[in-house]
Amino acid sequence: MVELTAIDGDKAEARKLRIAAVGDIHVKETSDMGLIRDLFADASRSADVLVLAGDLTDTGTPKEAERLAEQFRACSIPLVGVLGNHDFEAGKVDEVKTILCQAGLKLLDGSSTEIDGVGFVGTKGFAGGFGTRMLGSFGEPAIKNFVAEAMSEAMQLEIAMRGVKAKRSLVVLHYAPIQETVEGEPREIFPFLGSSRLAETIDRFPVDAIVHGHAHRGRFEGRTPGGVPVYNVASHIEKPGGQAFAILEI
């Protein structure tokens, strides 16, 4: 949990925001939407804001997005999120974005929003690996394009972070910014689960916490090299308290 010290004389600053966060709900045309509805209703009772950390749909079809959007009615608190790689699969990402945003999702796409004194800043992120084993921009154009995509996501995040005015902030990603929270996945796929470039960017700013998904078999908690708490909130990962979502207080 992230807890900040109250600032004397400023009640708005002192009040912690309770944030429910979950990733990778992967809504399919055959999904049991009662479970999703219950998740949104439970989160609305437990928190002030619900954060969705990407892979909102399973194959990125407008039909899946519509099924999810219908359930947003069960969410009575602000809904903030990023897309994941699965949301791009059908090649209909603009339609998916429109459906979800019109139903009330505040999409973070290299952008930020402020709710009750907390800045939410996010982007999907990309792959490329971690630390000294990170893929470098060398060789064939295809490799350089791959690395350029990871650098572009980090750059968009940096630009968005520069725009955050709030003293408290949460970064929302789909891909992992550190290796620690993907551990538990097969080592062979670590490079496809995230990129240290994201953590390098985030560590240049005062951030209270980071949430991500994508690594379904990863670990719940880790820290960036700069000490920022990182939570892998993929729906498949057991959360403290046994709820379907993590609760962070910022």
Q: In whole angstroms, how close is the CB of 233 to Fe ion at the nearest point?
A: 11
The residue type at 67: R
| Largest separation between any pair of C-alpha atoms in the chain | 58
Task: Single out the residue of 33, 2, 35, 5 nearest to residue 19, CA to CA.
Answer: 2
Task: In whole angstroms, give the CA distance from residue 117 to residue 88.
Answer: 32
Question: Is residue 59 involved in binding Fe ion (CB under 5 A)?
Answer: no
Of the candidate spans 54-62, 98-106, 108-116, 139-147, the one that interacts with Fe ion by CB under 5 A turns out to be 54-62
Compute the least distance from the CB of residue 234 to Fe ion, in Å.
6
Q: Mapping DSSP to helix (H, G, I), strand (E, B) and coil, where does residue 223 land? A: strand
214, 215, 222, 232: which one binds Fe ion (CB under 5 A): 214
Total residues contacting Fe ion by CB under 5 A comes to 5
Pairing of strands 168-172, 18-22: unpaired
Beta bridge partners of 121: 112, 171
- Tell me if 230 sits within 8 A of 183, measured CB to CB: no
Does 87 interact with Fe ion (rule: CB under 5 A)? no
Helix 33-46 vs helix 62-71: crossing angle, to nearest 10: 40
x/- mask, Fe ion, residues 156-195, rule CB under 5 A, reads ----------------------------------------
Q: Give the C-alpha separation, 62 to 93, whole Å.
A: 8
The yes or no reply on residue 55 touching Fe ion (CB under 5 A) is: yes
Amino acid at 22: V
**Between 22 and 77, whose beta carbon lies closer to Fe ion?**
22
Q: Are 177 and 210 in contact (CB under 8 A)?
A: yes
Question: Is 119 a binder of Fe ion (CB under 5 A)?
Answer: no
Is 85 among the residues that bind Fe ion (CB under 5 A)? yes
Cβ proximity to Fe ion, 87 vs 208, nearer residue: 87
Q: Is 125 in the site for Fe ion (CB under 5 A)?
A: no
The one segment of 4-12, 81-89, 127-135, 165-173 that binds Fe ion by CB under 5 A? 81-89
Phi and psi at 143, nearest 5°, equal -65, -45
Task: Identify the residue among 17, 19, 20, 24 touching Fe ion (CB under 5 A).
Answer: 24
CB of 230 to Fe ion, least distance (A): 16
Report the interface residues with Fe ion, using CB under 5 A.
24, 55, 84-85, 214
